[in-house]
Amino acid sequence: MITRKSPAELEKMRRAGLLVWQILHELAAMVEEGVTTYDLEKAAERMMRDAGARPAFKDYYVPAVGARYPFVLCTSVNDEIVHGMPSPKRVLKKGDVVSIDTGVELEGYYGDSAITVPVGEVSEETRRLLRVTQEALEAAIEKARAGNRLFDICSAVERHVTANGFSVVREFVGHGIGTQLHEEPQIPNYVDRKNQNPRLKEGMVLAIEPMVNAGRPETRILKDGWTAATQDGSYSAHFEHCVAVTSNGPWVLTRP
């Protein structure tokens, strides 16, 4: 069931969303050659604790894996798409890109967002991958308006990505969000005719998250059981925002 949030609930989600934005902003500033993904993890954990927030990801049970996720961040490097696990052995180097995905629970409501950050100078094609993925997210946000349908959001991502020669990941999707991290509806980054296509209404909050591969769309799960990577080894980018559908248009809760 899709739940719609009251103005008071949206304000609480806004506070959670801005905390996530602040954390990601500070983590992005830390990204440089020689930093480990575990360095980012420990900094994020400290910021959440200092803010009195609960990590949304840590201890989250995933039935498909049969385990609880052990970190507050997902840090996915280069060909890793999502759910990469922080490690003191994963040292970032020049030319890498790292997707940092995180969420918090604050006052009973969730915020969830992701960015992909280059490490030093990256190739022109990699810069283009990041730019196109961000543009696809913005195009999707623009469609998060009362009276539109879910497929308007999905189609906006798919059209922009494929027009630029990249591919959308199909196995992982965006989602509704509120008092739970994952709520209805699921939000694919392509038009899936088997998926529900509800009309968007005021009070709906959507976590929209394009996951875009430079090469083919096929994925594989690494030996850790969590990390999803591209099948062909191509780089991947991931950006995410929580967006409320309001009478004044889309309200991005996870940025100022």
256 residues of the chain, pLDDT tens digit each: 999 999 999 999 999 999 999 999 999 999 999 999 999 999 999 999 999 999 999 999 999 899 999 999 999 999 999 999 999 999 999 999 999 999 999 999 999 999 999 999 999 999 999 999 999 999 999 999 999 999 999 999 999 999 999 999 999 999 999 999 999 999 999 999 888 899 999 999 999 999 999 999 999 999 999 999 999 999 999 999 999 999 999 999 999 9
If 0-12 CB within 10 Å is exposed, 13-18 middle and 19+ buried, where does residue 172 land? middle
Asked whether residue 1 is domain-assigned, the answer is no
Contacts for 40 with CB less than 8 Å, ≥ 6 apart: 27, 30, 31, 73, 75, 86, 98, 100
pLDDT at 20: 98
pLDDT at 245: 98
As for how many domains the chain has, the answer is: 1
Q: What is the CATH number of the domain that holds 19?
A: 3.90.230.10
pLDDT at 195: 85
Asked whether residue 92 is domain-assigned, the answer is yes
Asked whether residue 212 is domain-assigned, the answer is yes
Asked whether residue 169 is domain-assigned, the answer is yes
Q: Is residue 116 within 8 Å of residue 99, measured between CB atoms?
A: yes
Asked whether residue 2 is domain-assigned, the answer is no
Can you give the residue range of the structural domain that contains 148?
7-252
If 0-12 CB within 10 Å is exposed, 13-18 middle and 19+ buried, where does residue 137 land? buried
Asked whether residue 167 is domain-assigned, the answer is yes
